[in-house]
Structure 1
Amino acid sequence: MSAFQKVTGLTGMKDALPPETTRWEQLETIVRDWLAIYGYQNLRTPVLEQTRLFTRGIGEVTDIVEKEMYSFVDPLNEDKLTLRPEFTAGVVRSAIEHNFLYDRPRRVYAMGPVFRHERPQRGRYRQFHQIDVEALGFPGPDVDAELILMLARLWRLMGLADIRLEINSLGQADERAAHREALIAYLEQHKDVLDEEARRRMYANPLRVLDTKNPAMQDMANGAPRLFDFLGDASLAHYHGLCARLDDAGVAHTLNPRLVRGLDYYNLTVFEWVTDRLGAQGTVCGGGRYDGLVELLGGKPAPAVGFAIGMERLLDLWQQGATDRSPAECQVYMVHQGDEGQRQAARLAEGLRDAGLKVLVHAGSTGFKSQFRRADASGAVAAVIVGDDERASGMATVKWLRSNAAGEGQQESIAFDQLAAQLQQRI
C-alpha cells in the first residue's frame, strides 16, 4: 500500500501561527476600541451568500464578479452560492432583510475572511481578511468626512506614517451617463491602444478602462474626459463640503480624477488611503458612498457610505514599524523543581491570573537551566521560582528578566501570599 501523500494548505490561503497571531489579536483589539469611540456596533453576516447578491450589488462587469468569485451550485437544492468576496453587499442584504434601518440610521462594522480567486502576492491572498465599516442612512458629506477622520486617527493609534489620502467624486447617475457617452466616444477614437480587456469593457463599463495598470494605455487614460468635469452643482457642493471638513481637521488630501474603485455601486465620494511601502498593492483602505445600493437590492431608498481595510496589508505596514517583532507569550513564567514544586507553582499561577497577569507554568520536569532558557524565550518580565527551598520557606524567588522597577537581572524573595499583589503592582 502506498504511503499517504502529505496534505498542504491551498495556494493563497495562509496559516497564521504564533507569535504572528498575537499581532492579529492586538490589531483586532485596537480596531474594536477605535470603532467603539465613534459609536460603531458589530454586525456579523454569513460567509456564504446567494451568488445573485454579488452579481446584482457589485456589478456583472467587474473583476470580482467576472474572474474572482468562488461560486458553486448547492447539490441539495441547486441554489447558486458564493463565498463572500466583500462585505458591503451582505451587510446591506442583512439590513434590508431585518428592517435594520426602519427606525434610525445605523453605524456598523464587520471583521472576518473574504475570498477572491486571484494571483497571490504580497498582502493579497485568496482568503484574506477585511475590516468593513458602514454608515447606513446618512446622506451628507459630514459622515463621509467622519469616516476619513476615523481612519486618520487609526493610523495615528498604530504609529503608521507614509499613508496618503486620495479622493474623487463619481457624481450621480445622470452625470455619469453624460460622462459615459463622452468617454465611449473618446475610447472609440483610441481603439488602437486599447488592450483586449479594455475593448471588452469599453461599452459595458467604460469607467473601469481608466483604472488600467497597462503602461501602454496610461497616456490615453490621462487624456480621457474626466468625470469630475461633468459634475453638477449638488455633486460639487457635496465634494467641497467634504474637503472643507477635511481641511478643518488638518487632513491632507489629493484629488485623483481617475480614482473610480472596483465596484459598480459607488456614487459621489470615493477615497483611498495608499502607501508606497507595500509594492504594487499600495491601497491600504478604500471606500466611498453608495446611495443606490439599498434600493438596488430591494430595500427602501437609503443613503450609505463605508470603507474596507485589508487586514493583511495593515499588519504588514504595522510590522515594518514595530520594534518588538515577537510579542511576549506571557508576563510571568513559573519555574519549578520536583512534583510538589510543580503543583505549588500551578496553585500560585492561578492566583496571579486572578490578579489579571498572563502566566505560563513550565510543562514537564526539565532542569532549571532549560526552564530559564524557555522563560527568557517567552518574553516574560519575571520568572517565579518554586523549588524545595521556596516551598519550605513559603517565599517564591522572583528573577526579573526584563527592565522594570526592580532592575533587569535582579532577584528577590516574595511571600507566596503577597506574590500576586506585588507582581500586579510592578509589572
Structure 2
Amino acid sequence: MSERIIFRHALLPGGWEENVALTMSNGVISKIETGVAGGTAIALPGMPNLHSHSFQRAMAGRAELRGPTADSFWTWRELMYRLALSLDPDDVQAIARLAFTEMLEGGFTAVAEFHYLHHAPDGSPYADIGEMASRLTEAANEVGIELVLLPAFYAHSGFGEQKPAEGQRRFINSLDSYAKLHARCRALTTTGCAPHSLRAATLEEIDALAALNGDAPFHIHIAEQAAEVEACIAYSGARPVEYLLANAPVSPGWCLVHATHITRAEALGMEKAQVVAGLCPITEANLGDGIFPAQHYSGAYGIGSDSNVLIDVGRELQMLEYSQRLGQRQRNVMATEAIRPTATALYQRTLDGGARALRMRQGLSVGAPASFVTIAGDNPEQALAEAVFTSRQTRIHDVWVRGRQRVWNGRHENATAACAGFDAVLRKRL
C-alpha cells in the first residue's frame, strides 16, 4: 500500500525544496516529486538519537538539590546508582515507554539505547539474560520508535581492572556472559556493541568486543569528565581519545560519546579515523561536564538525549550552539560557509552524524525509511530557526516512523497511558 503526502517545503539531502510530494510504500520513501503544489507543512527528516539511558528519565528534576559538598557528575552518579538498584523489569519498561514517547514528540524517530542495567538487583542474571533488553524492545515497539540496542559491557570500576563498585553490580558481565547477552539482544532487534568506557573495559576486552560486533554500531563513553582524563593519564601516560585511537581497532562510524575534554590533536585524530562525536549538550550542561571544543573539530557529530533530563531535538541543538557561543564568544558558530543558516546547518550535520552512528539510513531520499516530522511556517529556514532558538515549546506537529504516523499535533497517540505508567513507578520507587 502506498501513501502520498505533499509538503510546502522539505529538507532534502541537497537542501530546502519547495512543493515536494513524498510517496511511501512499505515503510520507505519510494518516490519524491518537486513542483507539486498543495502542501502546507514543512517536512524535516526524523532525527536519530545516538545516545540514551532511558531509565535515567526517572531522575529528571530529582537531582537538582545541592548536597553537603560541591556537587559534580560523580555525586550525581551515586544517586543514579541508587535508582538503578531499585528498578524491576516492569519499572524499566514503563520508564522507557515514556522516554521513547517523549523522543517522538520531540522530533527523534530512532534511538540508540546504551543499555547497561542488565541483571537483577543482587547482580545475578535473570533467567533470560536479556530480560531488561526485551523490556526496552517491547517499550520501543509499543511506542513505535526505531531502536538500536547497545548492550554495554561493564567489567571494572576504574583503570587497571579495578574491582567493580557495589552500586555497579547490575551492570557487570564477563566476556562470555556478554556474548550470550549480545546474542539475545540480536534476536530482539538491531544490536550494536558498547564498551562502557576505558574505565570499565580493558583494551583487550575492547578488541574482543569489536571482533564480536562486526560492522554494527560501536559506541563508547570517552573523556566526559576532567577527572576521567587525569585518571587515564595516570594509568597510561596518554589522554583517553589519544589512548583509544593509538591502541584500539577504531574504524569509521565508531561513536565516541561526549569527547568533551579533547585536545586539537585528538580532534584531528578523530577526524582522520572518521568516527562520530556523540554530543549530548543538555546532559553535558546538566552534569557540569564541560563544553565540547567544536572550534578544533570539523568531523562528524550527532546528538543524543543521554540522561533524558529534557528530551527535544530543538533544545539539544539550541544548547549545542549556545554553549559554543559562550565558550568562543562568537555567534552562529556551528553554521558553515556552505550552509549559513545556523539551525539548518545544525540539523543537517547532526542528522548525518546520527545516521552514521546508528548505521541507519536517514534523510528524505528514495529508498530511505519514511521517517519524518513536520513543523509549520512559510519560510522554512526561518521556521526551523524559530523552532530551535525562540520557541517556548516544541514546534513538532506530526511524526511518521517507517511510514506510520505516531504523533498528531505534538502528541503521541499513547501519551496519556505512558505518563500514567511512569507516574506509577515514581509513586512506588521515589
What range describes the TM-score normalised by the shorter chain of this pair? under 0.3
Q: TM-score, normalised by structure 1?
A: 0.22
Taking CA–CA contacts closer than 8 Å with sequence separation of 6 or more, which of the two structures ends up with the larger relative contact order? 2
Q: TM-score, normalised by structure 2?
A: 0.22
